[in-house]
Structure 1
Amino acid sequence: MCFVKTISDGGKGLSLSPILERFNSLRLAGKKDTVSVIEYELLEAATNNFQESNVIGEGGRGHVYKARFNEKLLAAVKRIDDAGHDAEREFNNEVNWLTKIRHQNIISLLGYCIHAETRFLVYEMMQNGSLEKQLHGPTHGSNLTWHLRMKIAVDVARGLEYLHEHCNHPVVHRDLKSSNILLDSSFNAKLSDFGLSVTAGTQSRNVKISGTLGYVAPEYLLEGKLTDKSDVYAFGVVLLELLMGRRPVEKMSPTQCQSMVTWAMPQLTDRSKLPNIVDPVIRDTMDLKHLYQVAAVAVLCIQPEPSYRPLITDVLHSLIPLVPTDLGGSLRVT
């Protein structure tokens, strides 16, 4: 039996039933180029009037809320309070991409809403939050075993491979980072935040550099050159985060920051030093040969020269053998 919550709006009853039916029919049909426009009152009811206790995350432009539409359907609502041109462009870009893209490792957009100057995006719920929160939050990565970390890396590579190789025109994510990798209840990883994504090859030289310090490829930062290899660089940084449990840029003093890539590079290629820089949470829990292989992949991905970086497809095929079969890889664990 479907539980339907009705809220009163000046005597007019608003039922959640039609919107739930729309969600379900879209998901079952797997329709592309379709996304629900959701009434503001429904979002208000589902988030308990955007109550602070329902905040599950914070983005650069607003909060993310847990929304309960009924006892079966939980969703995440991103509220964008920024009314500037950049925020509007990113919102439209996100809706545009996520209505076209459907993949198991890319977040599903269930709907959106524009209410006065505030915009809302409604996504599937990802119970384990972001990879950033798992690695650098209160648990400091203790929920993530070596095999789970490798599974997350493979999931992210699969999502990127879909964008780079299987979309009609290749898509560059442009803001891949641990806070934009979301994890469901089984730690399946999905790429999120497509506000900055572009079709490969459409980047003009005059476009403002966008992205996050520590993840931005050097050729993009210095020359404005953006290709799929820019995403591969960011993937290499995420792989190092999974390996070492460190942030891409760490503050050493009020005026000094240290880049993880610069610090790690000499040690990644030295087999005697490599085990010492691994996150203590997973240290000594993996086959050393597997550790050397992951470090070698990371080193290739973060090469300063983009032509030396591998395609994401090659990265994916290097990592699949390190993930157990029950987690979506090809490794048989005895």
Structure 2
Amino acid sequence: MAERITLKEMQGKSLIGWLNILGFLITLFVSSLKFLTGADNIVPGTFLSSNQTMVSAGGTFALGFFSPENSTKSYLGIWYNDIAQKTVIWVANRESPLAQNSSNTFLIGNDGNFLIWDNARKAIWSSNVSISNSTPKNTSGILMDTGNLVLKLGEEILWQSFDNPSDMFVPGMKISLNHRTHKEISLTSWLDEEDPQTGQFTFGIDPRGVLQALIWKSSYPYYRTDVWDGGPTDVALNSSGKYFAYITKGFNDDETYFILSISDNSIHLRYQLLSSGEMQLLEWRNTGWVVLAAVPEDECDYYARCGPYGSCIWSSSSLLCKCLMGFVPKNQQEWDTGNWTEGCAYQKEIKCNEDGFLRLGGMKLPDNSVWLGNLNSSACEVECLKNCSCSAYAYANMSVGNSTRCLHWYGELIDLVQNITSGQDIYVRLDSSELVRIRKSSSLKDKNKHQKAIVAAAVCMGLLFLGVAGYYLWRKRVEHQGQLKEDMPFRTFEADEVENNDSELFTFTTRSILAATNNFSEANKLGEGGFGPVYKGILPGNKEVAIKRLSKKSQQGLEEFMNELKLIAKLQHRNLVRLLGCCVQGEERMLIYEYMPNQSLDKFLFDPLKQANLSWHKRLQIIEDIAQGLLYLHKYSRLKVIHRDLKAGNVLLDGAMNPKISDFGMARIFGVNQTEAITNRVMGTYGYMSPEYAFHGQFSEKSDVFSFGVLLLEIVSGKRSTGFYQHEGPHTLLGLAWELWSNDRSAELIDPSIRQTCDPQEVVKCVHLGLLCVQESPLGRPTMSSVVLMLGKETTLLPSPREPAFSRIFKAYDSSSGVGSYSSNELTMSSISAR
């Protein structure tokens, strides 16, 4: 009897058959895929399983599946591969975690996108970009050595992890806001330390068009940066001076952005937005991460801590809110209890037509500024005064070109912080009668202060007189009794303004200096500079020092001597010579420095018998180190310092031939916002001075840049700028460099003694950079920040220079005066002539 099969049974068997076929096809497809084995790329037909990793070409980063500590979930992420501690910088499936220890797969799907499959071959995450139906099989992926996972179609980037960051900001990444598409690239914190899911904090660029960045908690501001001052680059030098990190900022009609870069890619540096809302800057050192900086740093950093028109002051670990002058608390009772959130209000309402502005200095500019573009200071004020809704304005010179920045505020001023060191000026609108009252009050306070100062000064003078008289009588008595002890070799005192706590200055007696230098014997003489001779000395304990003795004939008076003393005491950098102490006794004035056994750079650079000791690699290192030292002086020391006499003779070499900038007798301190100064006493060394300084006495950071450019070309060529002369062709070293560069022959400038061992491409780059530094106009020269940046990056495209200054100068200088061991630091205007 034949077996009867019902329709339902037939349908069931048919379904089972199809499932078997589908399972076979999936098995066939998966079996056709190839496992990845540590490669840095992925193509269609290959995949990454849960126990495998992709490793970038340089071995810095790895991509694979991971499980956070104390978690049962699995994620696809990228982490540092060359350090002991697994630190994840990016997570793909933050919102779609996988089960731990399951068979997960990362691959390129049929549509050409990155995919993550769970163990059921279900796609739980995709890069999700639109790709033409005719080209999906041609896509490929690569893990870059920057930590960026890239999906490409040929050379076109379709998608990259750097455009979809998690909580980390690493070198090469960009935080941005597109003004046309409103697409933003921002950081989002983890939910907690062990859960990569999206947390409640976000860091990004202000979408309101204000040039600033914020940390938001949910959708509310939590922390706000300063309003950008227009500078294209912020550079942060690490404490050891071994590398620098810089953030390049940009703003145009299409987008606002900033990019993090680092001069040494072997250093691991990262910003991380923590689940607590704190943004940290961290560096990997030996066995762990070190926090270099963090925001919010104190209570005043939290957004709107003191409410509208309230200024936050952080002092000695305590918070204080104060109403701006001309304002009073809205709720005095709440204000007195420490609840400042309601803020302040006008003490006398403004009347629009009878208003003026009160300048408040040292302020973090408030939120909600409106940028009016390139207006001068007067126009910025007038525009605000014309608009009754304008409550304040701020004006600043931009650090790019000749641009300016005019900012207006409309309505209440919020998130004001008093910051004397890095704050800016803001002009707050007040009723004219209120301005008169404030000025009268300030004048009365100043008068009282002046009277108190006079009384205090009189008391101090009286005490000082009594002290001096007492000391004189005591001294005479001791001398008379023959009990005056021998002078100690030196005594120690703490230099209260030196940056490092371990830095000390010593005061030496003349007797101890005479003993150290064998009575200033010729055998101990190291050389002679413009302000006097320099001797080698040996202190007790066989400590070698260099002693600079101010010549009685020198034009460096007590002012220059004390200037050098105070300056170097505050400068601490591995490429600056270290001051150990001083001697000021009678007419003697001496400075005691660390001893540099290889003396000055010019002793090697211009001596035919020693030039070969400076290999090309060493010369390049010297160039980079001098640049780092100058950058520190201009931007990162506690004082902004212009050296004014940078030359080969003022660069000393230690035992390992590391350069240190010396001789700060003519250096000048600039204010934080000061850009240039003028002097009637032009001092320096011919051949290194910029034209604006030599002819007009104007000096600035760009004057030092010019000197650096000359020195750079000297280091490359082994030729001295002072006294350089050719009967045929260019008459100056700068002219020769220009002629060779213009004819694509820059490599010919290299010192012949090292021509066989140099890298021609590096030589060409250095000549190019040197010419940029010696441009006629200061505006055409780069800053030292840019110089260091261009030296550190291998692929930097340099702008084209124009013909440099002094490239066509007649031989109007006696070369013999610049070649010997003595060179005058005073220059008269008639000693340079140009056509």
Which of 288, 293, 311 is equivalent to 2:765? 293
For 2:719, the equivalent position in structure 1 comes to 246
Aligned match for 1:216, one of 689, 698, 710 = 689
Distance apart, 1:315 and its partner CA: 1.2
**Does 1:265 find its partner at 2:738?**
yes
Query: Greater shift after overlay, 201-210 or 140-149?
Result: 201-210
Return the offset for 1:48: 1.2
What amino acid maps onto 1:96 in structure 2? K
- 1:267-286 deviation per Cα after TM superposition (whole angstroms, max 9, x unaligned): 13432x32322111111312
2:746 alignment counterpart: 274
Give the distance between the partners of 1:136 and 1:71, measured in 2 at CA. Answer: 35
User: Kindly tell me: are residues 202 and 227 of structure 1, through their superposed partners in 2, closer, same or farther at Cα, counting changes over 3 Å?
Assistant: closer
Q: Alpha-carbon deviation of 1:54? A: 0.7
Q: CA deviation at 1:15?
A: 4.9
Classify 1:277/1:204 alpha carbon distance in 2 versus 1 (closer, same or farther; 3 Å): closer
Identity of aligned residues (%): 36
Bigger mean CA offset, 84-93 vs 171-180:
84-93
Partners of 2:534 and 2:549 within 8 A in 1: yes
State the 1:265 CA deviation.
1.6
Matches within 5 A, 1:1-334: 12-16=485-489, 19=491, 29-31=501-503, 35-82=505-552, 86-137=556-607, 139-200=609-670, 201=674, 204-250=677-723, 252=725, 258-271=731-744, 273-320=745-792
- Cα contact 2:570–2:638 (8 A) shared by 1: no
For 1:161, give the aligned amino acid: L
Please list the CA deviations of residues 53-76 of structure 1 after superposition, one character each: whole Å capped at 9, or x if unmatched.
111121123211111113441000
Deviation, 1:104, is 0.9
Query: 1:318 corresponds to which letter in structure 2?
Result: M
More strand by share: 2
Return the offset for 1:130: 0.4
Following the alignment from structure 2 to structure 1, what is the Cα–Cα distance between the partners of residues 716 and 522?
34
Residues 158, 60 of structure 1: alpha-carbon distance in 2 compared, 3 angstrom cutoff: same
CA displacement, residues 249-281 of structure 1 (integer Å, 9 cap, x when unaligned):
22659xxx943212322113432x323221111
> Radius of gyration: which is bigger?
2
The offset of 1:52, in angstroms, is 0.9
Query: Aligned partner of 2:743: which letter?
Result: D
Q: 1:203 to 1:36 in 2, by over 3 A?
A: farther
4+ residue runs over 6 A deviation: none
- Whether the aligned pair in 2 keeps the contact of 1:250 and 1:260 (CA below 8 Å) is no
**Distance across 2 between alignment mates of 1:167 and 1:119:** 26
Compute the TM-score of the two structures, normalised by the length of structure 1: 0.83
User: What is the distance in 1 between the residues matched to 2:677 and 2:631?
Assistant: 23
Partner of 1:142, secondary structure, is helix
- Contact 1:46 1:68 (C-alpha < 8 Å) held by counterparts: yes
Q: CA, structure 1 residues 203+37, in 2 after alignment: closer, same or farther (shift >3 Å)?
A: farther
Residue 152 of structure 1: SS of its match in structure 2?
A: helix
Question: Aligned-pair distance for 1:22?
Answer: 6.7
Which residue of the partner structure matches residue 326 of structure 1? none
Tell me if structure 1 keeps the 8 A contact 2:678–2:699.
no
Structure 1 position 318, deviation (Å): 2.2
Between the aligned partners of 2:648 and 2:623, the Cα distance in structure 1 is 11
Q: Is contact 2:598–2:654 with CA below 8 Å preserved after alignment?
A: yes
Local SS of the residue matching 1:182: strand
Q: Are the structure 2 counterparts of residues 116 and 298 from structure 1 closer, same or farther at C-alpha, using a change threshold of 3 Å?
A: same
Give the number of equivalent residue pairs. Answer: 304
Deviation at 1:119, TM superposition (A): 1.4
| Larger RCO (CA within 8 A; separation ≥ 6) | 1
Q: Return the alpha-carbon distance in structure 2 between the equivalents of residues 58 and 219 of structure 1.
A: 28
TM-score computed with the length of structure 2 as normaliser: 0.34
Secondary structure (helix, strand or coil) at the match of 1:221 reads helix
Aligned with 2:772: secondary structure?
A: helix
Change in Cα spacing, 1:248 to 1:281, as seen in structure 2 (3 Å) is: same
> Quick one: structure 1 residues 202 and 179, their matched pair in 2 at CA, closer, same or farther if it must change by over 3 Å?
same
